[in-house]
């Protein structure tokens, strides 16, 4: 306990990222900040890191240095990455297109590393390229440790920096923006289902990226359009995926309607306890890099495909200027019965998790 308290104090005093809650909403055209809470606080980006990996991938595609159908070699280093991943095998290959889809949907850490090695020669050199590009985009409070967002002792970013990156992806590569709306794809004969549940639940949302590690909490970058008006938003440090998603929906609703979201609602969705921060400081410094850069801990996921898909496609609630798709209405009916049970199980397991070291899922 003493060691944990010392480490937590050390992290706060030296500026190392911690899992505090943060949120920001900006106008997609002007970049004007419509709402923000702790937008400049340093936090772990988790798999929101892959937005930068994808930015550099799109750069190489449009410069002709990569092709979508190009086969990239899978190294032992890439294949050894902790979940979530596609389960790539050393010595085999994977196309650039499948790497992109794997990162966007399953948040595949092995696919991110394959791309990093193909572009940078090594993941370490690619990380240097990521950090250089971050500075060029004005992300002055960001430092990446790897290409995937797995735990690292010095990886850090802010909600403000990450919303800059989200806007840059749509501004600089508009022809590639459709990738971020991908819900699922087929890889090696198997259906890979995405983690961004809010795509089905929030009308007008067409991207971007989810993220989770013990050190970061539940993160989300989103963009949505209503009546031709696009907003971008980032939520960091959510205590659960559901709380994070609900907060994002509220932030976007309020942003479109010209209202400020109460700070208390942002706080309720975030991890604010001193114990949580201590655990996540330890997770970030752990040499066992086995935390998932994902939206849902492995212990909360089901292996049954049918149940997994129903859980992933949450109910759609009509909002001003929008309407639910036929699929969204069907999903709402299917998900109604199971969502309460899942939420209860998640709450129970989340409570139990505070009693054990946070170095794995």
Those residues of the chain that have pLDDT short of 70 are 1-19, 271-361
Query: Which pair of tokens denotes residue 265?
Result: 């609602």
pLDDT of residue 335: 39
Contact 29, 170 (CB under 8 A): no
Name the percent of the chain in helix, strand, coil, to the closest 5. 50, 15, 35
Burial letters 249-288, b for 16+ CB under 10 A, else e: bbbbbbbbeeeebeeebbeebbbeeeebbbbbbbbbbbee
| Beta-bridge mates of residue 208 | 222
**What pLDDT does residue 45 have?**
96
Q: Do β-strands 33-37 and 22-27 pair in parallel, antiparallel, or remain unpaired?
A: antiparallel
d(CA 221, CA 272): 20
Structure tokens at 342: 């899942």
What DSSP string runs through 87-156? ---TT-EEEHHHHHHHHHHT--HHHHHHHHHHHHSSHHHHHHHHHHHHHHTT-TT-B-SSSS----TT-B
Give the count of beta carbons closer than 10 Å to the beta carbon of residue 118. 22
pLDDT tens, position by position, 268-327: 887 654 344 545 554 544 443 444 454 444 344 333 333 333 223 333 444 444 444 444
Return d(Cα 157, Cα 135) in angstroms, integer. Answer: 12
> For residue 258, what is the DSSP state?
T
Q: Is the Cα torsion angle 349, 148, 48, 202 positive or negative in sign?
A: negative
Q: In DSSP terms, which residues pair with 191 in a beta bridge?
A: 186
Residue with tokens 């809650």: 21
User: Which residue, 19, 51, 70, is CA-closest to 237?
Assistant: 19
For residue 16, the model assigns a pLDDT of 54
DSSP code of 356? S
- Per-residue confidence (pLDDT) for residue 346, from 0 to 100: 43
Determine the 3-state secondary structure of 212 from DSSP.
Answer: strand
What pLDDT, on the 0 to 100 scale, is given for residue 285?
45
Residue 261: partners with Cβ closer than 8 Å, 6 or more residues away: 23, 25, 35, 37, 247, 250, 251, 254
How far apart CA 154 and CA 122 sit, in angstroms, is 19
The CA distance from 290 to 213, in Å, is 9
Three-class SS state of 332: helix
Q: Which of 328, 321, 323 is nearest to 226 (CA)?
A: 321
Q: CA-to-CA distance for 181 and 204, rounded, in angstroms?
A: 11
pLDDT (0 to 100) of residue 262: 87
The pLDDT of residue 267 = 83
Cis omega before residue 208 (within 30°)?
yes
pLDDT at position 298 is: 38
Query: Of the CATH numbers 3.10.450.30, 3.40.710.10, 3.30.1330.180, 3.40.50.1000, which one belongs to the domain with range 15-353?
Result: 3.40.710.10
Tell me what pLDDT residue 320 has: 47
Cα–Cα distances (Å) from 144 to 130, 132, 141, in that order, read 7, 10, 10
Q: Which residues are catalytic?
A: 47, 50, 107
φ, ψ (nearest 5 deg) of residue 47: -75, -5
Structural contact between residues 92 and 114, judged by C-beta atoms closer than 8 angstroms: no
pTM above 0.85, yes or no: no
């Amino acid at each position: 306990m003493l060691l944990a308290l010392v480490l937590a104090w050390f992290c706060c005093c030296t500026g190392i990222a911690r899992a505090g809650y943060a949120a920001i909403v900006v106008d997609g055209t002007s970049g004007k900040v419509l709402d923000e809470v702790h937008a400049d606080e340093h936090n772990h980006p988790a798999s929101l890191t892959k937005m930068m990996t994808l930015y550099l991938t799109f750069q190489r595609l449009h410069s002709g240095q990569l092709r979508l159908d190009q086969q990239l070699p899978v190294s032992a280093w890439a294949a050894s990455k902790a979940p979530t991943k596609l389960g790539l095998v050393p010595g085999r290959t994977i196309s650039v297109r499948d790497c992109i889809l794997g990162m966007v949907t399953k948040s595949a850490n092995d696919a991110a590393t394959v791309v990093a090695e193909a572009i940078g020669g090594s993941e370490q050199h690619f990380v240097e390229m990521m950090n250089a590009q971050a500075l060029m985009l004005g992300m002055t409070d960001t430092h990446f440790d790897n290409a995937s967002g797995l735990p690292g002792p010095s990886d850090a970013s802010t909600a403000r920096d990450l919303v800059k990156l989200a806007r840059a992806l749509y501004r600089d590569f508009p022809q590639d923006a459709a990738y971020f709306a991908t819900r699922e794809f087929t890889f090696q004969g198997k259906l890979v289902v995405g983690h961004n549940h809010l795509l089905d639940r929030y009308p007008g949302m067409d991207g971007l990226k989810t993220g989770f590690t013990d050190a970061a909490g539940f993160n989300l970058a989103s963009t949505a359009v209503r009546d031709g008006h696009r907003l971008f938003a980032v939520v960091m440090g959510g205590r659960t995926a559901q709380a994070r998603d609900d907060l994002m929906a509220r932030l976007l609703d309020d942003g479109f309607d010209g209202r400020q979201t109460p700070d208390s609602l942002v706080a309720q969705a975030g991890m604010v306890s001193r114990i949580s921060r201590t655990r996540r400081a330890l997770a970030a410094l752990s040499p066992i890099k086995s935390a998932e850069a994902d939206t849902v801990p492995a212990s909360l996921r089901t292996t049954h495909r049918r149940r997994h898909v129903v859980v992933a496609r949450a109910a759609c609630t009509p909002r001003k200027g929008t309407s639910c798709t036929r699929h969204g209405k069907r999903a709402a009916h299917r998900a109604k019965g199971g969502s309460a049970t899942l939420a209860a199980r998640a709450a129970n397991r989340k409570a139990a998790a505070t009693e054990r070291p946070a170095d794995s899922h």
